[in-house]
Amino acid sequence: MRELEDRTGVDREVIRIMIREGLLPEPIRPARNAAEYDESHVSGIATIRHLQQTSRLTLKEIKAALSGQSLERPGPASIYSHLETLLSRSFGLEQPATVSLQSLCERYPRAEHDAHTFESMGMLTLIRNEHGYSLSLTDARLVEIWGKIREAGFVEEQGFPPENISFYREAAELVAQHETSIFFRGSDGAIGEEDAARMLETALPLMLDFFGLLRIKAFMASVHRSVKKEEP
């Protein structure tokens, strides 16, 4: 525990709370008064701290999200990848957190239709179980976002079915391929694994914001061009 405190900079009582809340796996206990921690605990604590610092989430909010509840303060998209990382095999947990499709339907009446539509477009994966369908945290957030877009008036009756954004998947894959190529070409043999992980953890959320701003600029420029064309 002393070594874990030194490696993470987090007090042992806080670490024990993280374990008690199920955010970290239980340590191996070879003896009654001994506990062995590994790299999964170091990585898990770093992820939790990152969520707290960048998104202002409390431990209770993180636990609720991992239990499939919607975040009251959703924040940036990177939150969901970090939450899913906490439940990955590397942190000693076998099954990823999921959200039932039924719970989404209770808040967004068209959620089931949208989920199946997005799955047909290759944007998400529906998980079949004895209670119906469920989705990963990230996939559930996609359906939730579209539900909020519907509430703003972007509905089929106005000419805005979810199929309109089918091009998003290809665009996202193209951007990701370029990003991956650039990163590995630049880091090959020059950056250690830990440094690369640290760089990506910081850069990916920032690049999402960067790309989002470029999209807004491009969209507004396109709107202005369209308006000028329609002017007499």
For 93, residues 6+ apart whose C-beta sits below 8 A from its C-beta are 25, 86, 87
The pLDDT score that the predictor gives to residue 116 is 97
pLDDT below 70 — which residues of the chain? 66-97, 193-194, 201, 232
Dump pLDDT digits (tens) for 60-99. Answer: 887 777 665 655 555 555 566 666 666 554 444 445 567 8
Q: Are 207 and 179 in contact (CB under 8 A)?
A: yes
The pLDDT score that the predictor gives to residue 90 is 41
pTM over 0.75: no
Dump pLDDT digits (tens) for 113-135. Answer: 999 999 999 999 999 988 899 99
The pLDDT score that the predictor gives to residue 86 is 62
Written as one string, the DSSP assignment of 72-132 is SS---THHHHHHHHHTSGGGT--S--EEEHHHHHHH-TTHHHHHHHHHHTTS--PEEETTE
| Cα Rg of the chain, angstroms | 21
For 55, residues 6+ apart whose C-beta sits below 8 A from its C-beta are 73, 75, 76, 79
The pLDDT score that the predictor gives to residue 108 is 92
The pLDDT score that the predictor gives to residue 34 is 86
The pLDDT score that the predictor gives to residue 75 is 57
The pLDDT score that the predictor gives to residue 76 is 56
The pLDDT score that the predictor gives to residue 157 is 95
Q: Which of 35, 40, 57 is nearest to 48 (CA)?
A: 57
**Cβ count near 137 (within 10 Å):** 23
